Each structure stands twice: as C-alpha cells, then as structure tokens.
Chains A and B, each alone.
Chain A
Amino acid sequence: MADERNFRLKVITPERVFYDGDVNMVEFNTTEGEIGIYKGHVPMTVIVNPGILTISESDRARNAALHAGFVEILEDKVTILAEVIEWPEEIDKKRAEAAKARAEERLRTKTPETDVLRAETALKRAIARISVIS
C-alpha cells in the first residue's frame, strides 16, 4: 500500500498556501546539499538553497522552483516555509533567461563594488527556473 508510506507536506509562502497534501517523497536543495525525504525522517530544520523541488505524489511527480526559505522536517510531516516558490507554469522563460545572462555578465565583469553573493544567488535562481521548465 502506497498510502502507508505517505506523509503530509505543506508548502507555505507569505502570500498563500502553495501546496498541502499527502506525498510519497519530497526532494530539494539545501545549503548542505540535495536531500530527499521519506516518511520517518529524523526531525530536522534545514535551509533551502535555490533549486528544484520535486514532490512525488502516489501516482505522479510535480516540480517547482524553490528559491529561498527553510524546511521543518518532522517524522510524519514536512513544512516548507518558502519565501519564493513557483510552479513551472508561473515562470516566464524569457525573463529567467535574461536574468541568467545578466547575472553571468555581472560575475564576469566583476568590480570591487559587485555584490558577488547576490549575483550568484540570482544566477542560481535563474538556473533553477530554467531547469524546472525544461
């Protein structure tokens, strides 16, 4: 029975409840690397790195671009507090590509004033967006 292995996933943003349902597995990027979570994980709080969030429901998988926030993992419940998160259909591909080019440009033509960290984050976000669509 697939149902017994399911746990509750909640994805909350400041503006809305993004996702709320029973899922089989959830994968995303953290500051420490990529992780995948099944039911019965050790309770943990982790910080999100920009990347793809994969939600595996019983019969299908859904992707979303998750950019910032943190995740509270309990044994039978996972709560993602996402500052920025988008479904693929909400992403503007052209804009993401433009943002990627801009961030790359900024990193290439570095000056002391460049906020490298910010440019890198922007680049990571853009890459996450593009890879979710394709």
Chain B
Amino acid sequence: MASMRDIKRRRGSIQSTQQITKAMKLVSTVKLQKAKQRAEQSKEYFNCMYETVVSMLAKAGNINHPYLKAGDSSKKGIIVITSNRGLAGGYNSNVIKLVTQGDFRKEDVEVYVIGKKGRETLQRRGYSIREDYSDIVEEPLYSDAMEVSRKVLDDFVNGEIGEIYLAYTGFKNTVVHVPTLLKLLPVEAGAGNGAKDAGTDKMQGNTAPMNFEPEDDAALDMIIPKYVTSLIFGGLVEAVASENGARMQAMDSATSNAEEMIEHLTLMYNRARQGSITQELTEIIAGANAISM
C-alpha cells in the first residue's frame, strides 16, 4: 500500500488539475454562448442566400457556366476548419478523419487549412498544404471568409483545382456537433432534394417568376462567389461554436473524472491513516503489556 504522504501528494496534484479543467470549462461555456449567438444571428443570411441560389439554379437550368461544372484538374481543394488549440475531445480528429478516410487520394488533395491543429496533423501525414489561414479561427470576420474564398475561387478558375470541398464541424446544438463535408464547387444544380423543394415552393408562391438583372450568366458570376463566401463564413462560425462546445464537454468530463479519482484517493488515504493509527495503538498496547508483565 502506498504511503500516506504519496497518496496525499497525488490527490493534491489531481485537485489542481481539476481546478484547471474547471476553469477551462467555465471559459469555454462563456465563449460558447457568444459563438452560439453569432451562429444564430448569421443563420438568416445563409438561409436566404441558399434559397436564392437554389431558386436561381432551378430556373437557370442547363446553363453552361464554369462554376457549375468540374474543372479539368484532378486535384481537389479541401478547406479544413479545425481549432488552434487542443483539449477539445475528438473535435479536431473528427474533422481530419473526413479528409483522411474519405474518398480522397492523398496525392490529389490540396488543403487550405484553417486552424493549427489541422495543419499539424495533415502535414505530418504528408498532405500538401496550400494555404494556411489559422489566424482567423479565433474570431472569424466576414472579410476573412472573403479572403479565403477569393483564393480558392482563383485557383478554381485558373484550373489548379477541379473541385472544392469544405470540411468543418456543424453545430446542431450545445451537445451535438456533426463533422460535415460539403461540396462547394462545382455547384450541383438542385443540390439536396429537400432544399430544391423549398426553392420551387417559393417560386410557386409568387405570382410572377423571378427575373434576374443582369442576365443569368452574369448574375451567376457575381452570386456564386458570394454564395461560396457565405458558406465558408457559415462553416467558420459554426466550427467556432462547435469547438467551444466540444471543449466544454471534454473539460466537463475531465472535471468529473478528476472528482472520481479524488474520491477514490481520499478513501485510500483515510484507510491508510486508520491503518497507521491502528498499528500505532497495537504497538503501544503491546509495549505496555510487555512492561506490566
């Protein structure tokens, strides 16, 4: 049995770890509230954007537009959104799994990484990192998303990549986060049947069909980049919320695990204490007996 002093020291160290995890949990709870609010506030914009693009594509039909068909290059660009810091449970590895375990061949992938953790892991596994935007993850602004989308669209238009994907963690609610892989370009006409239905419903609700000014082609030219930007921004905002949610959960379970260990160690400590008292008593009694004999 470990000595009393060892147990006490061990318990002390676990206690201070617990204090840290508790504090981290509180911090990420506050951050989560903020990020959640932002995600909710921006949701309306994306819904509108999505509806517009879907109804546009539904109307545009078979327009032969560069944004609507895959490029010649076999390379696939993936924007991977992870966190800059660890201790967030499976948050980062789940996103990376989307890349490493998906249908992508390592040689064909160009990664646009947002988040240090993702960069480190993917680099170690030998993926080619094209751009690194890790600084923007802490507080994503719309202008940051614009910068990223400008870069990927440039590469797409120049034929350096043929398809663009976005790997991020979707924020369902505080405890449910879904790693999501989204195809950004080429835009698939009528992507997602449910969404398409919503689009046509909307069209039927109006008495007159929607007109576009300028004409369809030019309008697509302008709207698709905005659409991509908004998806990237949406991904960022949701990823930040998910990151804090994941960290909160991880720290919560770490705190309760520490609690459990402390309980166990306290029990052991008390037993050891009792044991030593009993032993002392036995020794004294034995000594007294020896004298009185």
Contacts and interface: CB of A to CB of B under 8 A. Distances in A.
A47 B222 contact: yes
Interface residues of B, number: 30
B212 interface: yes
B241 to A, nearest CB: 14
Contacts, number: 76
Question: Which secondary structure characterizes the binding site on chain A?
Answer: strand
A16 B142 CA distance: 11
Contacts of B210: 43-45, 72
Interface stretch (A51-59, A75-83, A92-100, A103-111): A75-83
B41 A16 contact: yes
B222 A70 contact: yes
Interface in A1-17: 12-17
Interface stretch (B45-53, B84-92, B101-109, B185-193): B45-53
A43 B222 contact: no
A89 interface: no
Interface string B152-176: 0000000000000000000000000
Given A45-B56, A81-B49, A14 B233 contact: yes
25 contacts: A14-B45, A16-B41, A30-B213, A31-B213, A31-B218, A32-B213, A42-B208, A43-B209, A45-B56, A45-B210, A45-B212, A45-B213, A46-B212, A46-B213, A47-B214, A47-B222, A70-B52, A70-B222, A72-B52, A74-B206, A75-B206, A79-B48, A81-B49, A81-B226, A83-B229
